Chain A
Amino acid sequence: MRAVSEKGRTKQWRGSEIIGYWLLRFSLILVLFILGFIIVDIFTKGIGVINWEFLTTAPRVGMTEGGIFPAIVGTLYVTLITIAFAVPLGVAAAIYLNEYAVQGRLTRLVRMSLRNLAGVPSIVFGLFGMAVFVKFFGFGPSLIAAGFTLGLLTLPVTVTAAEEALITVPRSYRAGSFALGATRWQVVRTVVLPRAIPGILTGTILGLARAAGETAPILATGAAFFLPYLPDSVKSQFMALPYHLFIMSTQHHALAVVRPIAYGTALVLVTLVTLLNLAAVLLRKRYRDKVAKGL
Protein backbone atom coordinates (compact mmCIF):
# COMPACT_ATOMS: atom_id res chain seq x y z
CA MET A 1 0.00 0.00 0.00
CA ARG A 2 2.77 2.36 0.98
CA ALA A 3 4.69 1.45 -2.18
CA VAL A 4 1.70 2.32 -4.32
CA SER A 5 1.34 5.72 -2.71
CA GLU A 6 5.03 6.43 -3.07
CA LYS A 7 4.95 5.62 -6.74
CA GLY A 8 1.71 7.50 -7.25
CA ARG A 9 3.24 10.52 -5.64
CA THR A 10 5.97 10.95 -8.17
CA LYS A 11 3.93 10.64 -11.32
CA GLN A 12 0.24 11.02 -10.55
CA TRP A 13 -0.22 14.56 -9.34
CA ARG A 14 -0.91 16.68 -12.33
CA GLY A 15 -2.92 19.69 -13.39
CA SER A 16 -5.72 20.75 -11.12
CA GLU A 17 -5.23 17.71 -8.90
CA ILE A 18 -2.25 19.39 -7.36
CA ILE A 19 -4.80 21.71 -5.71
CA GLY A 20 -6.53 18.72 -4.13
CA TYR A 21 -3.18 17.40 -2.92
CA TRP A 22 -2.40 20.70 -1.26
CA LEU A 23 -5.88 20.96 0.27
CA LEU A 24 -5.35 17.63 2.03
CA ARG A 25 -1.83 18.51 3.04
CA PHE A 26 -2.84 21.97 4.20
CA SER A 27 -5.53 20.49 6.49
CA LEU A 28 -2.88 18.57 8.35
CA ILE A 29 -0.50 21.51 8.45
CA LEU A 30 -3.32 23.64 9.88
CA VAL A 31 -3.60 21.19 12.79
CA LEU A 32 0.10 21.71 13.42
CA PHE A 33 -0.39 25.45 13.16
CA ILE A 34 -3.28 25.47 15.67
CA LEU A 35 -1.32 23.44 18.20
CA GLY A 36 1.81 25.50 17.58
CA PHE A 37 -0.11 28.72 18.06
CA ILE A 38 -1.66 27.59 21.35
CA ILE A 39 1.68 26.44 22.73
CA VAL A 40 3.67 29.46 21.54
CA ASP A 41 1.05 31.93 22.79
CA ILE A 42 0.87 30.33 26.23
CA PHE A 43 4.62 29.90 26.43
CA THR A 44 5.60 33.43 25.43
CA LYS A 45 3.01 35.10 27.66
CA GLY A 46 3.27 32.68 30.56
CA ILE A 47 7.02 32.26 30.89
CA GLY A 48 7.41 35.77 32.34
CA VAL A 49 5.70 34.94 35.63
CA ILE A 50 7.24 31.50 36.04
CA ASN A 51 9.88 31.50 38.75
CA TRP A 52 10.62 29.56 41.89
CA GLU A 53 8.30 31.70 43.97
CA PHE A 54 5.39 31.23 41.53
CA LEU A 55 5.74 27.46 41.75
CA THR A 56 6.27 27.18 45.49
CA THR A 57 4.08 29.76 47.23
CA ALA A 58 0.38 30.19 47.75
CA PRO A 59 -1.73 32.96 46.17
CA ARG A 60 -1.72 36.21 48.16
CA VAL A 61 -3.69 39.47 48.27
CA GLY A 62 -6.99 38.14 46.93
CA MET A 63 -5.11 35.90 44.47
CA THR A 64 -3.65 38.89 42.63
CA GLU A 65 -0.13 38.01 43.76
CA GLY A 66 1.86 35.00 44.82
CA GLY A 67 2.06 31.59 43.25
CA ILE A 68 0.05 28.49 42.47
CA PHE A 69 1.66 25.97 44.81
CA PRO A 70 -1.61 24.73 46.40
CA ALA A 71 -3.09 24.16 42.92
CA ILE A 72 -0.06 22.11 41.85
CA VAL A 73 -0.21 20.03 45.03
CA GLY A 74 -3.98 19.62 44.75
CA THR A 75 -3.72 18.40 41.16
CA LEU A 76 -0.96 16.00 42.18
CA TYR A 77 -3.04 14.55 45.03
CA VAL A 78 -6.25 14.20 43.08
CA THR A 79 -4.56 12.57 40.08
CA LEU A 80 -2.82 10.10 42.41
CA ILE A 81 -6.19 9.07 43.85
CA THR A 82 -7.54 8.83 40.31
CA ILE A 83 -4.72 6.51 39.29
CA ALA A 84 -5.01 4.44 42.47
CA PHE A 85 -8.65 3.86 41.52
CA ALA A 86 -8.47 3.56 37.74
CA VAL A 87 -5.26 1.59 37.14
CA PRO A 88 -5.83 -1.53 39.30
CA LEU A 89 -9.47 -1.71 38.27
CA GLY A 90 -8.62 -1.01 34.63
CA VAL A 91 -5.90 -3.66 34.52
CA ALA A 92 -8.17 -6.18 36.26
CA ALA A 93 -10.98 -5.52 33.79
CA ALA A 94 -8.54 -5.86 30.89
CA ILE A 95 -7.29 -9.17 32.32
CA TYR A 96 -10.87 -10.36 32.57
CA LEU A 97 -11.58 -9.36 28.97
CA ASN A 98 -8.39 -10.76 27.51
CA GLU A 99 -7.36 -13.68 29.74
CA TYR A 100 -10.35 -15.06 31.57
CA ALA A 101 -13.56 -14.36 29.74
CA VAL A 102 -14.98 -16.53 27.01
CA GLN A 103 -15.52 -14.07 24.18
CA GLY A 104 -19.22 -13.68 23.68
CA ARG A 105 -22.27 -11.70 24.67
CA LEU A 106 -20.94 -10.62 28.06
CA THR A 107 -17.54 -9.42 26.83
CA ARG A 108 -19.26 -7.56 24.00
CA LEU A 109 -21.48 -5.87 26.56
CA VAL A 110 -18.48 -4.93 28.74
CA ARG A 111 -16.65 -3.48 25.74
CA MET A 112 -19.73 -1.61 24.59
CA SER A 113 -20.19 -0.16 28.08
CA LEU A 114 -16.56 0.88 28.07
CA ARG A 115 -16.88 2.71 24.77
CA ASN A 116 -20.04 4.42 25.94
CA LEU A 117 -18.43 5.33 29.25
CA ALA A 118 -15.70 7.02 27.22
CA GLY A 119 -18.38 9.07 25.49
CA VAL A 120 -20.20 10.27 28.60
CA PRO A 121 -19.79 14.08 28.87
CA SER A 122 -17.40 15.11 31.64
CA ILE A 123 -20.00 17.30 33.33
CA VAL A 124 -22.29 14.26 33.63
CA PHE A 125 -19.49 12.54 35.55
CA GLY A 126 -19.52 15.66 37.72
CA LEU A 127 -23.25 15.26 38.41
CA PHE A 128 -22.77 11.57 39.14
CA GLY A 129 -19.84 12.22 41.44
CA MET A 130 -21.76 14.87 43.33
CA ALA A 131 -24.82 12.66 43.80
CA VAL A 132 -22.94 9.45 44.62
CA PHE A 133 -19.58 10.26 46.19
CA VAL A 134 -20.27 13.65 47.74
CA LYS A 135 -23.82 13.02 48.94
CA PHE A 136 -24.69 9.33 48.95
CA PHE A 137 -21.38 8.06 50.37
CA GLY A 138 -21.09 11.23 52.40
CA PHE A 139 -17.51 12.06 51.41
CA GLY A 140 -18.47 15.70 51.02
CA PRO A 141 -16.61 17.86 48.52
CA SER A 142 -13.18 16.29 48.88
CA LEU A 143 -10.07 14.88 47.24
CA ILE A 144 -11.49 11.40 47.45
CA ALA A 145 -14.86 12.29 45.88
CA ALA A 146 -13.14 14.17 43.05
CA GLY A 147 -10.50 11.44 42.65
CA PHE A 148 -13.11 8.69 42.32
CA THR A 149 -15.14 10.78 39.88
CA LEU A 150 -12.04 11.36 37.75
CA GLY A 151 -11.17 7.68 38.17
CA LEU A 152 -14.43 6.62 36.51
CA LEU A 153 -13.80 9.07 33.70
CA THR A 154 -10.25 7.75 33.22
CA LEU A 155 -11.20 4.07 33.35
CA PRO A 156 -11.74 3.66 29.57
CA VAL A 157 -8.20 5.01 28.99
CA THR A 158 -6.54 2.58 31.41
CA VAL A 159 -8.57 -0.48 30.32
CA THR A 160 -7.87 0.19 26.64
CA ALA A 161 -4.14 0.65 27.19
CA ALA A 162 -3.90 -2.43 29.42
CA GLU A 163 -5.82 -4.55 26.93
CA GLU A 164 -3.61 -3.41 24.09
CA ALA A 165 -0.60 -4.41 26.17
CA LEU A 166 -2.05 -7.84 26.99
CA ILE A 167 -2.83 -8.54 23.34
CA THR A 168 0.82 -8.02 22.39
CA VAL A 169 1.94 -10.93 24.59
CA PRO A 170 2.22 -13.87 22.16
CA ARG A 171 -0.30 -16.69 22.54
CA SER A 172 2.53 -19.23 22.47
CA TYR A 173 3.86 -17.92 25.82
CA ARG A 174 0.57 -18.76 27.48
CA ALA A 175 0.34 -22.09 25.74
CA GLY A 176 3.86 -22.95 26.86
CA SER A 177 3.15 -22.16 30.49
CA PHE A 178 -0.15 -24.02 30.48
CA ALA A 179 1.62 -27.00 28.99
CA LEU A 180 4.07 -26.93 31.91
CA GLY A 181 1.12 -27.23 34.25
CA ALA A 182 0.73 -23.62 35.35
CA THR A 183 -2.70 -22.45 36.43
CA ARG A 184 -4.39 -19.49 34.76
CA TRP A 185 -3.53 -17.06 37.55
CA GLN A 186 0.09 -18.26 37.54
CA VAL A 187 0.26 -17.67 33.79
CA VAL A 188 -1.22 -14.20 34.14
CA ARG A 189 0.99 -13.27 37.10
CA THR A 190 4.33 -14.65 35.92
CA VAL A 191 4.14 -14.64 32.13
CA VAL A 192 1.56 -12.16 30.87
CA LEU A 193 1.65 -9.27 33.33
CA PRO A 194 5.43 -8.72 33.42
CA ARG A 195 5.49 -8.31 29.65
CA ALA A 196 2.48 -6.02 29.73
CA ILE A 197 4.05 -3.59 32.21
CA PRO A 198 5.18 -0.98 29.61
CA GLY A 199 1.67 -0.89 28.17
CA ILE A 200 0.09 -0.58 31.59
CA LEU A 201 2.52 2.22 32.39
CA THR A 202 1.50 3.99 29.17
CA GLY A 203 -2.13 3.75 30.23
CA THR A 204 -1.24 5.10 33.65
CA ILE A 205 0.54 8.12 32.18
CA LEU A 206 -2.31 8.80 29.73
CA GLY A 207 -4.74 8.52 32.63
CA LEU A 208 -2.70 10.97 34.70
CA ALA A 209 -2.67 13.45 31.82
CA ARG A 210 -6.38 13.10 31.29
CA ALA A 211 -7.24 13.51 34.97
CA ALA A 212 -4.87 16.44 35.47
CA GLY A 213 -6.57 18.50 32.76
CA GLU A 214 -10.23 17.88 33.59
CA THR A 215 -12.25 20.62 35.23
CA ALA A 216 -15.94 19.88 34.85
CA PRO A 217 -15.97 16.69 36.97
CA ILE A 218 -14.32 18.42 39.94
CA LEU A 219 -16.47 21.57 39.93
CA ALA A 220 -18.88 20.21 42.51
CA THR A 221 -16.93 17.28 43.90
CA GLY A 222 -14.12 19.00 45.75
CA ALA A 223 -12.25 21.72 43.88
CA ALA A 224 -12.04 24.94 45.86
CA PHE A 225 -11.81 28.55 44.72
CA PHE A 226 -9.12 29.37 47.25
CA LEU A 227 -7.66 27.58 50.25
CA PRO A 228 -5.05 29.13 52.49
CA TYR A 229 -3.69 25.71 53.48
CA LEU A 230 -2.81 22.46 51.72
CA PRO A 231 -5.18 19.48 51.89
CA ASP A 232 -4.32 17.38 54.96
CA SER A 233 -6.52 14.36 54.35
CA VAL A 234 -8.48 12.70 51.57
CA LYS A 235 -11.58 14.38 52.99
CA SER A 236 -10.15 17.86 52.40
CA GLN A 237 -11.16 20.15 49.60
CA PHE A 238 -8.33 21.15 47.27
CA MET A 239 -7.22 23.66 44.69
CA ALA A 240 -6.44 22.30 41.21
CA LEU A 241 -4.58 23.73 38.22
CA PRO A 242 -7.39 23.53 35.65
CA TYR A 243 -9.95 24.92 38.08
CA HIS A 244 -7.54 27.67 39.10
CA LEU A 245 -7.11 28.63 35.43
CA PHE A 246 -10.89 28.69 35.04
CA ILE A 247 -11.23 30.96 38.07
CA MET A 248 -8.39 33.25 37.03
CA SER A 249 -9.77 33.69 33.52
CA THR A 250 -13.50 34.03 34.22
CA GLN A 251 -14.43 34.38 37.88
CA HIS A 252 -11.85 36.62 39.47
CA HIS A 253 -12.91 40.17 40.39
CA ALA A 254 -9.93 41.74 38.62
CA LEU A 255 -9.50 39.68 35.48
CA ALA A 256 -7.11 42.03 33.70
CA VAL A 257 -4.82 42.23 36.74
CA VAL A 258 -4.53 38.46 37.12
CA ARG A 259 -4.13 37.73 33.40
CA PRO A 260 -0.37 37.04 33.77
CA ILE A 261 -1.10 34.60 36.61
CA ALA A 262 -3.70 32.92 34.41
CA TYR A 263 -1.12 32.59 31.63
CA GLY A 264 1.42 31.20 34.08
CA THR A 265 -1.11 28.65 35.34
CA ALA A 266 -1.98 27.69 31.77
CA LEU A 267 1.70 27.23 30.97
CA VAL A 268 2.27 24.95 33.96
CA LEU A 269 -0.84 22.92 33.13
CA VAL A 270 -0.06 22.60 29.42
CA THR A 271 3.57 21.68 30.12
CA LEU A 272 2.51 19.02 32.61
CA VAL A 273 -0.15 17.47 30.37
CA THR A 274 1.91 17.67 27.17
CA LEU A 275 5.00 16.12 28.75
CA LEU A 276 2.88 13.28 30.12
CA ASN A 277 1.24 12.72 26.74
CA LEU A 278 4.55 12.83 24.87
CA ALA A 279 6.07 10.39 27.36
CA ALA A 280 3.15 8.02 26.75
CA VAL A 281 3.50 8.35 22.97
CA LEU A 282 7.25 7.61 23.10
CA LEU A 283 6.84 4.72 25.54
CA ARG A 284 4.14 3.17 23.41
CA LYS A 285 6.21 3.54 20.26
CA ARG A 286 9.14 1.83 21.93
CA TYR A 287 7.24 -1.22 23.02
CA ARG A 288 5.30 -1.41 19.76
CA ASP A 289 8.58 -1.46 17.87
CA LYS A 290 9.83 -4.17 20.19
CA VAL A 291 6.72 -6.24 19.59
CA ALA A 292 7.05 -5.68 15.85
CA LYS A 293 10.61 -6.99 15.99
CA GLY A 294 9.31 -10.02 17.86
CA LEU A 295 11.30 -9.44 21.01
Chain B
Amino acid sequence: MHSRTELIMKILFWASGIAIILFLVGILFTLLSNSIPALGEIGIGSFFTSGLWRPGAYGEPTYSINNFILGTFMVTVGALAFAVPMGVAAAAYLAEIASPWEREFFKPIVEVLAGIPSVVLGFIGLVVLAPLIARFFNIPSGINALNGAILVGIMALPTIITLAEDAITAVPKEYRHASLALGGTQWQTIWKVTVPAAFSGITAAAMLGMGRAIGETMTVLMVTGNMIARPESFLDSVRTLSANIAIEIGDVAFGSVHFHALFVVGLVLFIITFIVNLLADILIHRKPEVNK
Protein backbone atom coordinates (compact mmCIF):
# COMPACT_ATOMS: atom_id res chain seq x y z
CA MET B 1 0.00 0.00 0.00
CA HIS B 2 2.90 2.29 0.69
CA SER B 3 5.00 0.87 -2.06
CA ARG B 4 4.85 4.02 -4.15
CA THR B 5 6.14 6.32 -1.42
CA GLU B 6 8.69 3.67 -0.57
CA LEU B 7 9.99 3.61 -4.11
CA ILE B 8 10.09 7.38 -4.43
CA MET B 9 12.00 7.77 -1.17
CA LYS B 10 14.39 5.02 -2.13
CA ILE B 11 15.16 6.72 -5.44
CA LEU B 12 15.48 10.10 -3.73
CA PHE B 13 18.04 8.85 -1.20
CA TRP B 14 19.94 6.92 -3.84
CA ALA B 15 20.09 10.05 -6.00
CA SER B 16 21.40 12.10 -3.07
CA GLY B 17 24.23 9.62 -2.58
CA ILE B 18 25.06 9.56 -6.27
CA ALA B 19 24.92 13.38 -6.35
CA ILE B 20 28.02 13.48 -4.14
CA ILE B 21 30.01 11.56 -6.73
CA LEU B 22 28.57 13.75 -9.47
CA PHE B 23 29.59 16.95 -7.67
CA LEU B 24 33.21 15.86 -7.50
CA VAL B 25 33.14 14.70 -11.13
CA GLY B 26 31.33 17.92 -12.02
CA ILE B 27 34.06 20.06 -10.48
CA LEU B 28 36.72 18.16 -12.41
CA PHE B 29 34.69 18.35 -15.60
CA THR B 30 34.10 22.10 -15.22
CA LEU B 31 37.79 22.73 -14.63
CA LEU B 32 38.77 20.56 -17.60
CA SER B 33 36.25 21.92 -20.07
CA ASN B 34 37.06 25.51 -19.18
CA SER B 35 40.78 24.79 -19.35
CA ILE B 36 40.71 23.34 -22.84
CA PRO B 37 40.34 26.67 -24.74
CA ALA B 38 43.39 28.04 -22.92
CA LEU B 39 45.39 24.85 -23.36
CA GLY B 40 44.55 24.93 -27.06
CA GLU B 41 45.43 28.57 -27.48
CA ILE B 42 48.56 28.72 -25.35
CA GLY B 43 49.68 25.12 -25.23
CA ILE B 44 50.15 23.14 -22.05
CA GLY B 45 53.93 23.56 -22.15
CA SER B 46 53.75 27.34 -21.91
CA PHE B 47 52.26 27.07 -18.43
CA PHE B 48 55.34 25.24 -17.18
CA THR B 49 58.17 27.00 -19.03
CA SER B 50 60.28 29.45 -17.09
CA GLY B 51 59.03 33.01 -17.23
CA LEU B 52 56.32 35.08 -15.68
CA TRP B 53 52.55 35.13 -15.48
CA ARG B 54 51.69 38.20 -17.54
CA PRO B 55 48.24 37.64 -19.03
CA GLY B 56 47.76 41.36 -19.58
CA ALA B 57 51.10 42.04 -21.24
CA TYR B 58 50.72 44.04 -24.42
CA GLY B 59 51.38 41.99 -27.53
CA GLU B 60 52.92 38.95 -25.96
CA PRO B 61 51.05 37.67 -22.88
CA THR B 62 52.80 34.86 -20.99
CA TYR B 63 51.24 32.31 -18.67
CA SER B 64 54.03 30.58 -16.79
CA ILE B 65 52.85 29.27 -13.42
CA ASN B 66 56.27 28.00 -12.31
CA ASN B 67 56.74 30.79 -9.80
CA PHE B 68 53.28 30.17 -8.36
CA ILE B 69 54.05 26.49 -7.94
CA LEU B 70 57.30 27.46 -6.22
CA GLY B 71 55.41 29.93 -4.02
CA THR B 72 52.81 27.32 -3.06
CA PHE B 73 55.60 24.83 -2.37
CA MET B 74 57.49 27.28 -0.13
CA VAL B 75 54.45 28.25 1.90
CA THR B 76 53.39 24.61 2.27
CA VAL B 77 56.83 23.28 3.23
CA GLY B 78 57.41 26.18 5.62
CA ALA B 79 54.02 25.57 7.23
CA LEU B 80 54.50 21.83 7.62
CA ALA B 81 58.05 22.24 8.94
CA PHE B 82 56.65 23.41 12.26
CA ALA B 83 53.01 22.31 12.14
CA VAL B 84 53.79 18.59 11.75
CA PRO B 85 56.23 18.20 14.68
CA MET B 86 54.16 20.51 16.86
CA GLY B 87 50.87 18.89 15.88
CA VAL B 88 52.13 15.35 16.43
CA ALA B 89 53.65 16.34 19.79
CA ALA B 90 50.37 17.92 20.89
CA ALA B 91 48.48 14.84 19.66
CA ALA B 92 50.82 12.50 21.53
CA TYR B 93 50.26 14.52 24.70
CA LEU B 94 46.48 14.48 24.24
CA ALA B 95 46.34 10.76 23.48
CA GLU B 96 48.91 9.41 25.91
CA ILE B 97 49.50 11.76 28.80
CA ALA B 98 46.68 14.26 29.22
CA SER B 99 44.41 13.79 32.20
CA PRO B 100 40.66 13.62 31.46
CA TRP B 101 40.10 17.26 32.38
CA GLU B 102 42.95 18.36 30.13
CA ARG B 103 41.36 16.49 27.24
CA GLU B 104 37.97 18.02 27.97
CA PHE B 105 39.60 21.42 28.03
CA PHE B 106 41.99 21.21 25.07
CA LYS B 107 39.90 19.36 22.50
CA PRO B 108 37.32 22.15 22.12
CA ILE B 109 40.23 24.62 21.96
CA VAL B 110 41.61 22.76 18.95
CA GLU B 111 38.15 22.74 17.34
CA VAL B 112 37.65 26.43 17.91
CA LEU B 113 41.06 27.17 16.35
CA ALA B 114 40.00 25.05 13.37
CA GLY B 115 36.94 27.24 13.04
CA ILE B 116 38.73 30.60 12.92
CA PRO B 117 38.04 31.89 9.39
CA SER B 118 41.10 32.11 7.16
CA VAL B 119 40.39 35.77 6.43
CA VAL B 120 40.71 36.52 10.16
CA LEU B 121 44.07 34.75 10.34
CA GLY B 122 45.14 36.73 7.29
CA PHE B 123 44.12 39.92 9.06
CA ILE B 124 46.17 38.97 12.14
CA GLY B 125 49.10 38.19 9.85
CA LEU B 126 48.78 41.60 8.29
CA VAL B 127 48.46 43.73 11.41
CA VAL B 128 50.39 41.71 14.00
CA LEU B 129 52.76 39.19 12.44
CA ALA B 130 54.02 41.32 9.54
CA PRO B 131 55.43 44.13 11.74
CA LEU B 132 57.02 41.52 14.02
CA ILE B 133 58.72 39.77 11.10
CA ALA B 134 59.87 43.10 9.66
CA ARG B 135 61.45 44.11 12.96
CA PHE B 136 62.97 40.70 13.69
CA PHE B 137 64.72 40.39 10.32
CA ASN B 138 65.24 44.12 9.98
CA ILE B 139 63.50 44.27 6.59
CA PRO B 140 61.10 46.93 5.33
CA SER B 141 58.06 44.65 5.12
CA GLY B 142 56.95 41.48 6.81
CA ILE B 143 54.57 40.62 3.99
CA ASN B 144 56.33 37.55 2.61
CA ALA B 145 56.47 33.77 2.26
CA LEU B 146 57.50 33.32 5.91
CA ASN B 147 54.42 35.15 7.15
CA GLY B 148 52.21 32.98 4.93
CA ALA B 149 53.97 29.80 6.05
CA ILE B 150 53.48 30.59 9.75
CA LEU B 151 49.78 31.37 9.33
CA VAL B 152 49.08 28.44 7.04
CA GLY B 153 50.87 26.21 9.55
CA ILE B 154 48.51 27.49 12.24
CA MET B 155 45.58 26.72 9.93
CA ALA B 156 46.83 23.18 9.34
CA LEU B 157 47.53 22.48 13.03
CA PRO B 158 43.99 21.47 14.09
CA THR B 159 43.71 19.03 11.18
CA ILE B 160 47.06 17.45 12.06
CA ILE B 161 46.38 17.31 15.83
CA THR B 162 42.92 15.77 15.48
CA LEU B 163 43.90 13.10 12.96
CA ALA B 164 47.23 12.26 14.59
CA GLU B 165 45.47 11.88 17.94
CA ASP B 166 42.97 9.49 16.36
CA ALA B 167 45.84 7.49 14.90
CA ILE B 168 47.75 7.31 18.21
CA THR B 169 44.63 6.45 20.20
CA ALA B 170 43.91 3.62 17.76
CA VAL B 171 47.16 1.81 18.59
CA PRO B 172 46.18 -1.36 20.50
CA LYS B 173 46.78 -1.00 24.23
CA GLU B 174 48.70 -4.30 24.30
CA TYR B 175 51.60 -2.45 22.66
CA ARG B 176 51.80 -0.03 25.55
CA HIS B 177 51.36 -2.74 28.16
CA ALA B 178 54.13 -4.81 26.59
CA SER B 179 56.51 -1.87 26.48
CA LEU B 180 55.79 -0.82 30.05
CA ALA B 181 55.97 -4.42 31.27
CA LEU B 182 59.43 -4.74 29.75
CA GLY B 183 60.51 -1.82 31.89
CA GLY B 184 60.19 0.91 29.25
CA THR B 185 59.54 4.36 30.60
CA GLN B 186 56.50 6.22 29.38
CA TRP B 187 58.65 8.44 27.20
CA GLN B 188 60.24 5.36 25.60
CA THR B 189 56.78 3.88 25.12
CA ILE B 190 55.50 6.99 23.33
CA TRP B 191 58.64 7.65 21.33
CA LYS B 192 59.62 4.08 20.41
CA VAL B 193 56.32 2.18 20.44
CA THR B 194 53.07 4.11 20.16
CA VAL B 195 54.07 6.87 17.75
CA PRO B 196 55.94 4.51 15.37
CA ALA B 197 52.98 2.09 15.48
CA ALA B 198 50.68 4.94 14.46
CA PHE B 199 53.07 6.01 11.72
CA SER B 200 50.76 5.56 8.73
CA GLY B 201 47.95 7.42 10.47
CA ILE B 202 50.31 10.24 11.45
CA THR B 203 51.60 10.46 7.89
CA ALA B 204 48.01 10.68 6.69
CA ALA B 205 47.39 13.49 9.19
CA ALA B 206 50.42 15.33 7.85
CA MET B 207 49.23 14.83 4.27
CA LEU B 208 45.75 16.13 4.98
CA GLY B 209 47.37 19.12 6.70
CA MET B 210 49.41 19.53 3.54
CA GLY B 211 46.28 19.40 1.41
CA ARG B 212 44.82 22.23 3.47
CA ALA B 213 48.03 24.22 3.22
CA ILE B 214 48.25 23.88 -0.57
CA GLY B 215 44.67 24.97 -1.09
CA GLU B 216 44.58 27.74 1.51
CA THR B 217 43.63 30.96 -0.24
CA MET B 218 42.62 34.02 1.78
CA THR B 219 45.40 33.89 4.35
CA VAL B 220 48.19 33.67 1.79
CA LEU B 221 46.45 36.18 -0.45
CA MET B 222 46.55 38.71 2.39
CA VAL B 223 50.03 38.15 3.80
CA THR B 224 52.44 36.93 1.12
CA GLY B 225 52.55 40.03 -1.06
CA ASN B 226 51.56 38.27 -4.30
CA MET B 227 54.52 39.34 -6.44
CA ILE B 228 54.80 37.37 -9.67
CA ALA B 229 58.63 37.39 -9.64
CA ARG B 230 60.59 34.31 -8.68
CA PRO B 231 61.24 34.34 -4.91
CA GLU B 232 64.81 33.90 -3.71
CA SER B 233 64.12 33.28 -0.04
CA PHE B 234 61.38 33.03 2.56
CA LEU B 235 61.70 36.76 3.15
CA ASP B 236 60.61 37.44 -0.44
CA SER B 237 57.07 38.04 -1.56
CA VAL B 238 55.45 35.04 -3.25
CA ARG B 239 52.21 34.39 -5.06
CA THR B 240 50.58 30.98 -4.68
CA LEU B 241 48.38 29.16 -7.20
CA SER B 242 45.29 29.73 -5.07
CA ALA B 243 46.04 33.41 -4.47
CA ASN B 244 46.56 33.97 -8.18
CA ILE B 245 43.06 32.75 -8.94
CA ALA B 246 41.56 34.81 -6.12
CA ILE B 247 43.30 37.99 -7.27
CA GLU B 248 42.24 37.76 -10.89
CA ILE B 249 38.90 35.96 -10.71
CA GLY B 250 37.10 39.20 -9.90
CA ASP B 251 37.88 41.25 -12.96
CA VAL B 252 38.86 38.81 -15.70
CA ALA B 253 36.87 39.16 -18.92
CA PHE B 254 34.49 36.21 -19.30
CA GLY B 255 35.53 33.83 -22.06
CA SER B 256 38.94 35.40 -22.64
CA VAL B 257 42.13 33.34 -22.83
CA HIS B 258 43.04 34.78 -19.44
CA PHE B 259 39.70 33.55 -18.03
CA HIS B 260 40.36 30.03 -19.25
CA ALA B 261 43.98 30.19 -18.12
CA LEU B 262 42.73 30.72 -14.55
CA PHE B 263 40.86 27.42 -14.85
CA VAL B 264 44.14 25.77 -15.85
CA VAL B 265 45.62 27.11 -12.60
CA GLY B 266 42.56 25.76 -10.77
CA LEU B 267 42.96 22.40 -12.50
CA VAL B 268 46.61 22.16 -11.44
CA LEU B 269 45.60 23.03 -7.87
CA PHE B 270 42.77 20.48 -7.94
CA ILE B 271 45.02 17.72 -9.26
CA ILE B 272 47.73 18.38 -6.66
CA THR B 273 45.32 18.44 -3.71
CA PHE B 274 43.40 15.46 -5.10
CA ILE B 275 46.55 13.33 -5.22
CA VAL B 276 47.63 14.44 -1.74
CA ASN B 277 44.19 13.68 -0.28
CA LEU B 278 43.95 10.37 -2.09
CA LEU B 279 47.31 9.25 -0.71
CA ALA B 280 46.21 10.27 2.78
CA ASP B 281 42.98 8.35 2.27
CA ILE B 282 44.85 5.20 1.25
CA LEU B 283 47.13 5.53 4.30
CA ILE B 284 44.22 5.97 6.71
CA HIS B 285 42.37 2.95 5.40
CA ARG B 286 45.41 0.73 5.21
CA LYS B 287 45.46 -2.29 7.46
CA PRO B 288 47.82 -1.87 10.43
CA GLU B 289 51.24 -3.16 9.42
CA VAL B 290 51.64 -5.30 12.53
CA ASN B 291 48.81 -7.60 13.52
CA LYS B 292 47.70 -8.05 17.07
Q: Do A and B bind each other?
A: yes
Query: B161: shortest Cβ distance to chain A, in Å?
Result: 7
Residue A27, interface by CB 8 Å: yes
Q: Does the CB pair B262–A127 fall under 8 Å? A: yes
Query: Beta-carbon contacts of B50-70 to A below 8 Å, as 1s and 0s?
Result: 000000000000000000000
* B residues lining the A interface (CB < 8 Å): 2, 5-6, 9-10, 12-14, 16-21, 23-27, 30-31, 34, 85-87, 89-90, 92-94, 96-100, 106, 108-124, 126-128, 154, 157, 161, 173, 176-177, 180, 185-187, 189-191, 208, 211-212, 214-218, 221-222, 242, 245-246, 249-250, 254, 262-263, 266, 269-270, 273-274, 276-278, 281
> What 17 new A-B contacts, CB under 8 Å, besides A93-B19, A215-B119?
A5-B97, A8-B186, A8-B189, A14-B185, A23-B89, A30-B90, A34-B157, A38-B116, A89-B19, A96-B13, A113-B20, A115-B281, A116-B277, A119-B276, A120-B215, A215-B118, A246-B122
Contact yes or no, A249 B180, CB < 8 A: no
Q: Which residues of chain A have C-beta atoms less than 8 A from B19's C-beta?
A: 89, 93
Instruction: Report the minimum CB–CB distance from A118 to chain B (whole Å).
Output: 8
Q: Tell me if A266 counts as interface (CB < 8 A to partner B).
A: yes
A132 contacts B26, C-beta separation under 8 Å:
yes
* Contact flags A96-110 to B (C-beta < 8 A → 1, else 0): 110111000011011
> Would A270 and B116 be within 8 Å (CB), given that A113-B24, A249-B127 are in contact?
yes
Mask, A263-275, CB within 8 Å of B = 1, is: 0001001100110
A242 at interface, CB cutoff 8 A: yes
In the complex with contacts A110-B21, A245-B120, A124-B266 CB distance below 8 A: yes
Nearest-CB distance from A246 to chain B (Å)? 5
| B16:A89 contact, CB within 8 angstroms | yes
- The residues of A that contact B26 with a CB separation of less than 8 Å are 128, 132
Asked if B30 and A120 make an inter-chain contact with CB atoms under 8 angstroms apart, the answer reads: no
With contact pairs A121-B270, A245-B123 given, residues A101 and B106 touching in the complex (Cβ less than 8 Å): no
Residue of B nearest to A32 (CB): B109
What are 8 sample pairs from A and B whose C-beta atoms fall under 8 A apart?
A20-B190, A24-B93, A28-B89, A28-B90, A96-B16, A121-B269, A216-B118, A246-B122
Q: Cβ of A25 and Cβ of B123 under 8 Å apart?
A: no
Instruction: State whether B115 touches A93 (Cβ < 8 A).
Output: no
CB-based nearest A residue for B270: A124
CB-CB nearest in chain B for A100: B13
Chain B nearest CB, measured from A249 CB (Å): 5
Partner of B274 from the list A38, A41, A106, A116 (CB cut-off 8 Å) is A116
A42 interface residue (CB < 8 Å to B): yes
> How many Å lie between the Cα of A124 and that of B112 in the bound state?
25
Q: Are B116 and A250 in contact (CB under 8 A)?
A: no
Inter-chain contact B177/A249, CB cutoff 8 Å: no
Do A123 and B242 form a contact, CB below 8 Å, given A31-B113, A110-B21? yes
Chain A 221-235 interface residues, beta-carbon cutoff 8 Å to B: none
Whether the pair B111, A120 counts as a contact (CB closer than 8 A) is no
Cα distance A110–B92 in the bound complex, in angstroms: 32
